[in-house]
Structure 1
């Protein structure tokens, strides 16, 4: 992958250097505590500002992926990647946030253990380990590192993996929270500067006029079925282990509820800033002689290099780096805890706190090894989101939602059947698409060529298997 180098002046270098020092100081000074509650949930004591900061930063850890999406879908990114998450985030705030915080469960498998037994809990732990692997975040950090310092992508992936691993292993959720508080301020500042630059430079006038005249621009040139597939991907909110972990770690149910609502509002504002910045980058990119060769992941480094003044360039870079790093630490933690606590400890029926923390830390190491391998092989954030995550979310969504909203609706046997069927179908299609050279599994429906993806088939298979197994119980 070719990565655009960012040309940094002395003020930019000073800003980036101060950022690195601040992140290391905040992250490594965090105390995770000796038990599961401290390491995984920061004692369930997150205040409203800390809760909102870590939830928003975690959700925007895919910031370079937003640029990649804008390179594919243009203005339509807002409809395809933004609006579904506002809707499902609002539904989560209305129906799930208080329930999740009120329950004793620290994780989704904890809740499935209470409603369906050890089988579905262990199965969900394995799936959530795979879902939480921070491959996209490691890839984006590596792209940013290459853009700043040069070098190869694979060595950068290894360095970024070590940084994320050290912060997670030492501080747990508290390290993520402390980094997120800094990253939240920097991301809004950096992208606010970039968006304002594009607006005041009149670079976006033609883009918005074109969008007003050609309504298909608002759909990203996707048909109804394509839009529906992206909309359903927003339901990821209900099955996302990082989202659940933070809601369960809030100070009380009221903090969880208010925090999710405030996070949705923050998403709306930041989507405006980030998508506007990416459109600005596209306009700059259009003037390059080899524009088609610039990958979407390099759009924001291109913007930093060509569209921002010295000093502002450094603020924009640390705005990106902070949110990616924060999310990477958060997902490494949930992936490691899913493997160590929700899979291994539940399978072995190990209840000792210290032993569970050891398993979680071992899980973090394995999760990051898998993340590095996946990042080096796929090298596309959108592919990781849409295909890898879709296969897992499709299997988890219905059992997870029912476990909270209607806990007696499905038996443990039905939950397990749904998880197995959904994951088999989802990963089966993922493998099929990769071997056929058609990763999105394109099918012709009428005059529309639709990428079937993995989420919808996995969701259908999971739902059918669960309902059939439940009727036979």
Structure 2
């Protein structure tokens, strides 16, 4: 198989027909969702949370689909490090999902919030809400997914990645801004079915063409079957902590806030976890076959090129549509939440029309994502590690303290802990050449734990002193 190719030259008329048909079904679903909303014609709650009427099937489809936009980044990690990807991008996250479903969902339901920063404000205070909004905005910005859509259009149409990012982001903004969360959810129902089917088809045809695990073991380096993939234990463990950022992930909170009930949210996350496990097995196996068959391929692109050459006419178009569905399902959700953060959490008191502000903000977010994708030089691993590290190290511990010991952390303490952790992480990164090698994430996490623990212990001692007087 070729390690590089112009994809559109491999697509027949039948493939283009299938691709365009699925694209039409996706946007037809968004239009249908908008048409059936009935009397709920406006309002912030309808636009941002679909009026809190998300049923279990819709919840599962939209949450599952939202989580996989960085397909090229995941494939790149598998291509380079093997099942290390399944551990760091899969197993660690499943644990976090289950924790969220069993312990977090019921705790947040009583606050009746619209966004994660608003929830933070109700738990700790107004300054905490603004602090959380800053971290949320930079964490949820779909930088990796704008990059993914650019890479996709580069491979399929042959245009530059930069132009692909611009066209893809603009296209996503138009339908998301028009229909709000309802358009996002209904389009993701179609995307969910297509993306899951596409990755499964690649595995089935791979096994048929080359054989099973014995073929992979014979063709791949031994390190590809190591849990660490040749990486250090510390660099592997850090992904476990980053996975815990799920406990403060805005997209999880948005779906829970939009669910018809707490039980829908809890069951939905658990069902989605099972689907994610199956999906990750398929993408990991597919990328391993790509590495085995095209070892000289470009890591981020190899899986895509491999599948296009492997599949027969008709299914090529279905697979290409599936990859686009994977990217769009995350890009539109993250773009929407980032614009919600700007319009609702930052600008709500300055501009009365939150919906209009949200629509304008979406285009501003797109431009910023493109600029940052260029700044990160197109590295998925760097994007995820950087943004995920700050969110997990700076917000995770204060939020968990708030759930476990409600009312014990003040507004000022929350802000001090989060901001100090972020500053020390940044300082550690800037002065990297002057100290021993340790990821700044651990510095931020340790800072957060020390500040909050000392404050709580000191507070208890003061309380005892007062009681003894």
TM-score (norm 1): 0.88
Q: Which residue of 82, 86, 94 corresponds with 1:86?
A: 94
Would the aligned equivalents of 1:414 and 1:467 in 2 still touch at CA under 8 Å? no
Counting only pairs closer than 5 Å after superposition, residues 350-389 of structure 1 correspond to structure 2 as 354-378=352-376, 379-389=378-388
Counting only pairs closer than 5 Å after superposition, residues 402-413 of structure 1 correspond to structure 2 as 402-413=401-412
1:361-384 deviations in Å (ceiling 9; x for gaps): 333222211111112332122221
Distance in 1 (alpha carbons) for counterparts of 2:237 and 2:118:
31
Secondary structure of residue in 1 paired with 2:311: coil
Secondary structure of residue in 1 paired with 2:313: coil
Counting only pairs closer than 5 Å after superposition, residues 59-458 of structure 1 correspond to structure 2 as 59-202=67-210, 204-208=213-217, 217-286=226-295, 291=296, 294-345=297-348, 348=349, 354-378=352-376, 379-429=378-428, 443-444=436-437, 452-458=438-444
Q: In the superposition, relative to structure 1, how do residues 301 and 168 fare at CA in structure 2: closer, same or farther (>3 Å)?
A: same
Structure 1: segments with no counterpart, 5+ residues: 445-451
Distance in 2 (alpha carbons) for counterparts of 1:278 and 1:260:
26
Q: In the superposition, relative to structure 1, how do residues 8 and 432 fare at CA in structure 2: closer, same or farther (>3 Å)?
A: farther
Give the superposition deviation at 1:71. Answer: 1.9
Give the superposition deviation at 1:430. Answer: 5.3
Give the superposition deviation at 1:4. Answer: 4.7
Secondary structure of residue in 2 paired with 1:235: helix
Q: In the superposition, relative to structure 1, how do residues 195 and 231 fare at CA in structure 2: closer, same or farther (>3 Å)?
A: same
Q: In the superposition, relative to structure 1, how do residues 189 and 431 fare at CA in structure 2: closer, same or farther (>3 Å)?
A: farther
Would the aligned equivalents of 1:3 and 1:146 in 2 still touch at CA under 8 Å? no
Distance in 1 (alpha carbons) for counterparts of 2:24 and 2:214:
39
How many residues are paired up?
448
Distance in 1 (alpha carbons) for counterparts of 2:109 and 2:5:
43
Matched, 1:48 2:48: no
Would the aligned equivalents of 2:124 and 2:414 in 1 still touch at CA under 8 Å? yes
Would the aligned equivalents of 1:107 and 1:245 in 2 still touch at CA under 8 Å? yes
Aligned residues: CA RMSD: 2.5
Would the aligned equivalents of 1:420 and 1:462 in 2 still touch at CA under 8 Å? no
- Greater Rg by CA: 2
Give the superposition deviation at 1:56. Answer: 0.7
Give the superposition deviation at 1:225. Answer: 1.5
Distance in 2 (alpha carbons) for counterparts of 1:81 and 1:236:
12
1:97-140 deviations in Å (ceiling 9; x for gaps): 22233430122211221121110101111111111111111111
Q: In the superposition, relative to structure 1, how do residues 116 and 100 fare at CA in structure 2: closer, same or farther (>3 Å)?
A: closer
Counterpart position of 1:448: none
Structure 2: segments with no counterpart, 5+ residues: 460-469
Secondary structure of residue in 2 paired with 1:297: coil
Would the aligned equivalents of 1:109 and 1:124 in 2 still touch at CA under 8 Å? yes
Would the aligned equivalents of 1:336 and 1:361 in 2 still touch at CA under 8 Å? yes
Distance in 2 (alpha carbons) for counterparts of 1:266 and 1:36:
31
Would the aligned equivalents of 1:129 and 1:339 in 2 still touch at CA under 8 Å? yes
1:205-227 deviations in Å (ceiling 9; x for gaps): 23246889769623212332222
Q: Which residue of 4, 10, 14 corresponds with 1:11?
A: 14
Secondary structure of residue in 2 paired with 1:295: coil
Give the superposition deviation at 1:11. Answer: 1.6
Counterpart position of 1:39: 47
Distance in 1 (alpha carbons) for counterparts of 2:47 and 2:275:
27
Q: In the superposition, relative to structure 1, how do residues 367 and 468 fare at CA in structure 2: closer, same or farther (>3 Å)?
A: farther
Counterpart position of 1:449: none
1:19-61 deviations in Å (ceiling 9; x for gaps): 2222233335543842221111111111111101111111112
Give the superposition deviation at 1:331. Answer: 0.5
Would the aligned equivalents of 2:152 and 2:164 in 1 still touch at CA under 8 Å? no
Would the aligned equivalents of 1:93 and 1:261 in 2 still touch at CA under 8 Å? yes
1:236-284 deviations in Å (ceiling 9; x for gaps): 2111111111111111011011001001111111011111111111112
Deviates more, 1:96-105 or 1:410-419: 96-105
Would the aligned equivalents of 1:236 and 1:393 in 2 still touch at CA under 8 Å? yes
Secondary structure of residue in 2 paired with 1:96: helix
